Amino acid sequence: MSTDPTIEATTADLRRIHDLLLQAEPSRIALWDHDGTAYCYGDLTSLVARMADRLRSHGVRPGDRVMLLSENSATYLAAVLALSQLDAWVLLVNARLTEAEVARLTEVADIRCVVFTPEASAASRAHADRMEAVSLGRLACGELLVSPLREARAEPVEQGPDQVAALIYTSGTVGEPKGVMLTHGNLLYMCRTSSGLRRISPDDTTLAVLPGTHIFGLTSVFLAALARGSRLIVMPRFDADEVLEHLANDVTILPAVPQIFAALLKRMGERGIHRPEHKLRYIYAGGAPLDLGLKQRVERAFGLTLHNGYGQTEASPGIATTRMESPRQDASVGVAVPGMEVLIHNPDQHGVGELWARGPNVMKGYYGNPDATRAALTEDGFLRTGDLARQDPDGALHIVGRLKELIVHSGFNVYPPEIEAVLSTHPAVTMSAVVGMARDGDEDVIAFVTTHGPVTGDELRDWMRARVGPYKLPARIIIADALPQAATGKILKSKLLAHFAAQLEQKERN
C-alpha cells in the first residue's frame, strides 16, 4: 500500500460531497462560469440550497436516481451538490448522447427525473424540449429545467459514507449496461487525495475543460478544486484558442486527456506559437494512454513536466499517478495513489499480469447487477481492472495492454460491444467487430462488418449518426467478405487491423 504523510486524505470531518463548500472562505471566488459570471463560495452555497429546495418541492426524494444531462457549467456543479444535499443519486450523462441512448439509461437506472443545463449546452436544451421539461423558475445560474416525474423506486439511504452519491454507466451491450455506484466516501477520499497530490491551495485556478459527466472531471477537477477552497474556470466544450487565452491569464492547473494536449500543440503550430504564455505550475494527463512522444513535445512547449496517471471509473477514478517530487522521463503512470494497494495478478515471465487494486475509493458495486459486481470485485475487496500491467522495483506501474476492449476516443470511453450491438440492428449487416486504432495521440473507433445486402461504409456511418453519440461514431467502417475467425467462430479482433491494413491505408489516402 502506498502512503504519503504529505497528503491529507482523511474525510472524517465530512459526511457528504456538498460539505466541501463549508471548508472555504465564503467571499473567495469558487468558479467563473462559461459566460464569465463569477460565483464566490457563499454564492455557490446559496445556489445549491435553493436548487435543492426546488428539486425537493418537485418531488425528488432521498434514494432517487436523478439524471443530470449536462455540460460543464455552474448549473452542473450546483445540481451535483444539490442532489447530494437531498441524498439522491446523481446519474451523470453527457448531453451529447442521442435520444436512444438517453432513453436506455432512463430505463436501466429507473430514474425519477432529469435535470438539464440549458444555458451552457444547446444539446441539453434540445433534450429538455424533447422531454417536455418544466421550469422550476430562475436561479442565479439560469432557468432550472427538469423533466416531469417518473414512477421510480427510491433506494434506502445510509447515513454514513457508504451512501451512493453518483451513478456512472461505463460499459455493456445495449441490453446489459453497468452502472458504477460511487459513494460519498469514495468521492471525498479521492478528491482530497487528488488535491493533495497536486498541492492545490486557495490561490490556484483549475481549468475545467474535461467533461464533469466523466469521473475524471467530477472528482479530480471539480471536487478536487472545492476540496482546497480554490477556483475553477468552467468550459462546456473544448476550444483550443479559448484554452490558450485562459492559460495566459489565470490558470495554474490544467488536467486534460492527451488528445487535448495534442490539439493545443496543433493549434499553437498553426498560429506560430512555440511556447504559449501561461501561469501554469502543474499539468496532468489522464483518461487515456499517454504517448511518450506527445509527453516530450508538451513538456518542451510548456516548460513543465507533464504528469501522468491511470484510473478507472470503478476507482473514482485514481489508481496510480506520477509524483511532483519525482518526475518521470518515461510513460509510466506512476505509483499507487495514497491508500491504494495494487498487485499484479498471475504475472507471466515478463512480470506482466492483470492489475488489481484495493482502497477506499473503489466502488460499492454495479447498480442492480450483483453478477457483474462479483466478477469485478474479489471477496477481499480488490478491483479486477481488466488491464495488463507490470511494476518496476520502485513501485512505478506501466500499463501494457487491455484485457477489456475499451476504446478511449477524445477522452470519452467507447465500448465496442455497444457499437457492435447497434450495427447488428442494420438490416444489411451480418457480423461486426469494433476495435480502437491509435492515431495522433488518440484512438479512432474502427468497425469491420460483413453484410448480406447492398450497403456502403459511408451509408452505415450516416445511419449510425442518429443512433450513437458523436464520439462513438466509427471513424471508418470497413466492409469485408469475411472476418478472421478462430475455429470456434470467434472473431479474432487482435488480427483485424493487420488483416485489413491495405484497406485502412487506402481510406486514409482518400
Dist. CA 329–CA 333, nearest whole Å: 11
Dist. CA 357–CA 344, nearest whole Å: 9
DSSP 326: B
pLDDT at 3: 46
Is it true that domain 407-509 has CATH number 3.40.1080.10? no
Tell me if 411 sits within 8 A of 259, measured CB to CB: yes
pLDDT at 81: 98
Tell me if 31 sits within 8 A of 229, measured CB to CB: no
- Could you check whether 40-157 and 407-509 share the same CATH topology? no
Cis (ω within 30 of 0) for the bond into 317? yes
pLDDT at 510: 62
pLDDT at 370: 96
CA distances from 5 to 319, 338, 396 (A): 18, 9, 19
Dist. CA 87–CA 89, nearest whole Å: 7
- Listed by start position, the domains of the chain span 40-157, 407-509
Dist. CA 72–CA 83, nearest whole Å: 16
Question: Which residues neighbour 103 within 8 Å (Cβ) at sequence distance 6 or greater?
Answer: none
At CA 372, angle to CA 368 and CA 373, rounded to 5? 80
pLDDT at 414: 82
Beta bridge partners of 439: 442
Tell me if 79 sits within 8 A of 147, measured CB to CB: no
CA distances from 485 to 216, 431, 491 (A): 37, 12, 4
Dist. CA 50–CA 61, nearest whole Å: 16
- Torsion sign over Cα 302, 307, 311, 315: negative
pTM of this structure? 0.84
459 phi/psi in degrees, rounded to 5: -65, -40
User: Residues for the chain: how many in total?
Assistant: 510
Tell me if 182 sits within 8 A of 164, measured CB to CB: yes
CATH topology of domain 40-157: Rossmann fold (3.40.50)
DSSP string, 379-416: TTS-EEEEEEEEE-TTS-EEEEEESS--EEETTEEE-H
Per-residue pLDDT of the chain (510 residues; tens, 9 = 90+): 544 434 444 445 799 999 999 989 999 999 999 999 999 999 999 999 999 999 999 999 999 999 999 999 999 999 999 999 999 999 999 999 999 989 999 999 999 999 999 999 999 999 999 999 999 999 999 999 999 999 999 999 999 999 999 999 985 433 467 999 999 999 999 999 999 999 999 999 999 999 999 999 999 999 999 999 999 999 999 999 999 999 999 899 999 988 888 889 989 999 999 999 999 999 999 987 787 888 998 999 999 999 999 999 999 999 999 999 999 999 899 999 999 999 999 998 889 889 999 999 999 999 999 999 999 999 999 999 998 899 999 999 998 866 666 788 888 878 787 788 788 888 888 778 899 998 888 899 999 998 888 999 999 999 999 999 999 999 999 999 988 875 444 678 888 999 999 988 886 766
pLDDT at 287: 83
